[in-house]
């Protein structure tokens, strides 16, 4: 028997919409008397790692073009949102309805070309607008929202908060993605090269500094210079209109395919990786590349 506030009979459950069923199950999982011990132990902070894992699994399903897996992984990601909403609701902060209402209002507000004057009844009165202009308008609206948010925070705290164009780049983003976003934000105010050639030059400069640090053997400096090289690589990707995370994931997949091919080739010869010389492994690697892997 479950507590009164979470108890549902089969007919009540069946009458609910699919999202209502999910919310009801989440409430029962967090029931303090009869819920799941693991779910009850979680907090908004503890869920962050699991959310990142779910996002990566969604991306992996997309890259594999596996629609069955994608459907499943999107469900897992939706569950993360519901989980956050449940915990926040228990803490009296916000609930799932608040999340849904916030994103709905934001979408209407940020699409004035679809909802003129932010009014649903004007849907269909579409002005002529390009996708490039949509992006420009979107960023302008975001900046206005950011300013309004800062003003509200300043009023609440009775203090003036110094604003930076980098303030709303989340620190929890994967490092490659955050580097790209930081560079893009700085570029909007003119802190950027006008073409790709000096970016290539900067990368060469950073590699030279890394080589010098390697010669000196200072581990802290090596880490510092390697970070600068990676940051420069992301900048090069941005100027080359390449998504660095996507490019690296593709490189990971090529490495995996070639390495597995080498393993299979050696297995067919009755050999083990450990007993194969590096020179032979290099030849097999080149052959894997010639095979289109």
Q: Quick one: pLDDT band at residue 162, thresholds 50, 70, 90?
A: low
User: What secondary structure letter does DSSP report for 248?
Assistant: H
pLDDT (mean) for 17-26: 94
Q: Residues 131-149: pLDDT tens digits? A: 777 777 777 777 777 777 6
* Buried b or exposed e, range 26-49, using 16+ CB within 10 angstroms: bbbbbbeeebeeeeeebeeeeeee
The encoded tokens of residue 263 equal 């393993």
Please check whether residue 142 is in contact with residue 106, taking contact to mean a CB–CB distance below 8 angstroms. Answer: no
CA distance 272 to 266: 6
Alpha-carbon dihedral sign for residues 243, 248, 251, 253: negative
- Answer yes or no: is pLDDT of 69 > 90: yes
Residue 109 has pLDDT above 90, yes or no: no
Q: What gap in Å lies between CA 89 and CA 212, rounded to an integer?
A: 54
Give the pLDDT score at 261.
94
Give the span between the Cα atoms of 183 and 231, in whole angstroms.
Answer: 9
Distance, CA of 34 to CA of 224 (rounded, Å): 50
What's the whole-number mean pLDDT along residues 50-66? 90
| pLDDT value of residue 160 | 47
Q: How far is CA 173 from the centre of its chain?
A: 6
Rounded CA-CA distance 77/47 in Å is: 11
Mean pLDDT calculated for residue range 145-154: 68
**pLDDT above 70 for 4:** no
Rounded to whole angstroms, the Cα distance separating 204 from 228 reads 11
**238 contacts 226 by C-beta, under 8 angstroms:** no
Question: CA 240, CA 61: separation in Å to the nearest integer?
Answer: 26
User: Cα Rg for the chain, rounded, in angstroms?
Assistant: 26
Q: Has residue 153 got a pLDDT over 90?
A: no
**Pairwise CA distance, residues 250 & 231, whole Å:** 19
Structure pTM?
Answer: 0.60
* Per-residue pLDDT tens digits for 8-17: 778 888 889 9
The highest-confidence range among 78-92, 102-116, 168-182, by mean pLDDT, is 78-92
pLDDT in the model for residue 230: 96
Cα gap 107→58, rounded to integer Å: 23
Question: Which residues are CB-neighbours of 79 under 8 A, at least 6 positions away?
Answer: 22, 26
- Structure tokens given for 106: 């934001």
Q: Residues 44, 84: contact at Cβ < 8 Å?
A: yes
Mean pLDDT score of the chain? 87
């Amino acid at each position: 028997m479950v507590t009164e506030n979470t108890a549902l009979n089969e007919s009540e459950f069946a009458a609910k919409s699919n999202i209502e069923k999910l919310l009801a199950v989440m409430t029962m999982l967090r029931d303090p008397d009869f819920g799941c011990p693991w779910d009850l132990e979680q907090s908004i902070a503890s869920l962050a790692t699991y959310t990142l894992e779910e996002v990566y699994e969604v991306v992996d399903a997309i890259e594999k073009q596996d629609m069955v897996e994608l459907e499943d992984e999107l469900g897992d990601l939706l569950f993360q949102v519901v989980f956050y909403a449940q915990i926040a609701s228990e803490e009296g902060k916000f609930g799932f309805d608040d999340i849904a209402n916030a994103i709905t209002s934001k979408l209407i507000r940020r699409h004035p070309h679809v909802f003129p004057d932010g009014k649903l009844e004007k849907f269909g009165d579409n002005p002529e607008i390009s996708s490039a202009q949509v992006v420009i308008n979107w960023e302008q609206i975001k900046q206005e929202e950011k300013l309004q948010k800062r003003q509200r925070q300043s009023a609440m705290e009775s203090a003036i908060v110094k604003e930076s164009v980098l303030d709303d780049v989340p620190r929890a983003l994967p490092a490659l993605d955050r580097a790209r976003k930081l560079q893009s934000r700085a570029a909007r105010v003119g802190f950027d090269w006008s073409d790709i050639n000096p970016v290539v030059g900067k990368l060469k400069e950073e590699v030279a500094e890394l080589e010098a640090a390697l010669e000196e053997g200072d581990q802290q400096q090596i880490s510092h210079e390697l970070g600068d090289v990676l940051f420069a690589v992301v900048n090069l990707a941005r100027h080359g209109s390449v998504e660095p995370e996507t490019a690296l994931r593709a490189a990971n997949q090529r490495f995996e395919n070639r390495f597995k091919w080498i393993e299979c080739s050696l297995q067919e010869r009755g050999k083990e990786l450990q007993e194969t010389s590096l020179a032979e492994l290099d030849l097999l690697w080149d052959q894997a590349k010639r095979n289109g892997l």
